[in-house]
Amino acid sequence: MPRHFSMLREFHLADWFTLSNAICGLGAVFASMHYLQTGQVRSLWVGMALIPLAFIFDALDGRIARWRKSASTLGRELDSLADVISFGVAPAALAYACGLHGGWDWLVLSYFVGCGVSRLARYNVTAEQLSGGEDKVSHFEGTPIPTSLLLVVVLAVALWQGAIGDALWLGAVKLGPWVLHPLVLMFAVSGTLMISKTLRIPKP
């Protein structure tokens, strides 16, 4: 007979690191919402600090899975779902909290998250083909979604300089009915690089 929490009992050590990655990303989203609710800058700092921590968990889960020879399809799917939260939704939420909340900004941030989801789905579908029959994928098609950590670093520098909200770098432009903050275009570039079919990056 199946026992309560039987699925969790079957998780490997690497899967718990993957879940820690997702929890960090969710924490960053909550921190963004708390900043918007209270205006406490400390909440933004906490949210931004959680993304590098998520990156560490993301790097460790694969290493642990290979070390313990416990890689699985479930682990790969779990990793992708965690990455969507920590390196897709969370950076977009932090950007919104920092002041990128014009109408065009919404569209760009939605495009960024959509690209991240699509890139991870493509990776899961093509991982076996890219591995060439080996246990390890030889290269990435498009930039990996954890590279969005660089976007969070840019936001952190802006926060450190007080360049958030109305003081955002590059200001704001009124285009038709909505406002665009040019700084949000770095998310458009990042998303586009993620879904590239021609950009190939060797996997370490």
pLDDT recorded at residue 4? 55
CATH homologous superfamily of 10-202 equals CDP-alcohol phosphotransferase transmembrane (TM) domain (1.20.120.1760)
DSSP state of 139: E
Asked if 92 and 112 count as a contact pair (C-beta separation under 8 A), the reply is yes
SS3 (DSSP) at 140: strand
Return d(Cα 23, Cα 136) in angstroms, integer: 26
pLDDT recorded at residue 185? 97
Residue 22: partners with Cβ closer than 8 Å, 6 or more residues away: 54, 81, 82, 85, 86
Residue corresponding to tokens 């997702």: 22
Asked if 109 and 92 count as a contact pair (C-beta separation under 8 A), the reply is yes
pLDDT recorded at residue 8? 54
pLDDT recorded at residue 78? 84
pLDDT recorded at residue 117? 94
Helix (H) or strand (E) holding 178: strand 178-180
53-70 pLDDT, tens digit per residue, is: 999 998 887 676 565 565
For the question of whether the overall pTM of this predicted structure is more than 0.85, the answer is: yes
Domain boundaries, the chain: 10-202
Asked if 24 and 53 count as a contact pair (C-beta separation under 8 A), the reply is yes
pLDDT lower than 70: segments of the chain: 1-13, 62, 64-75, 127-139, 203-204
pLDDT recorded at residue 198? 81
32-45 pLDDT, tens digit per residue, is: 999 999 999 999 99
pLDDT recorded at residue 14? 72
**Cα-only R_g, the chain:** 18
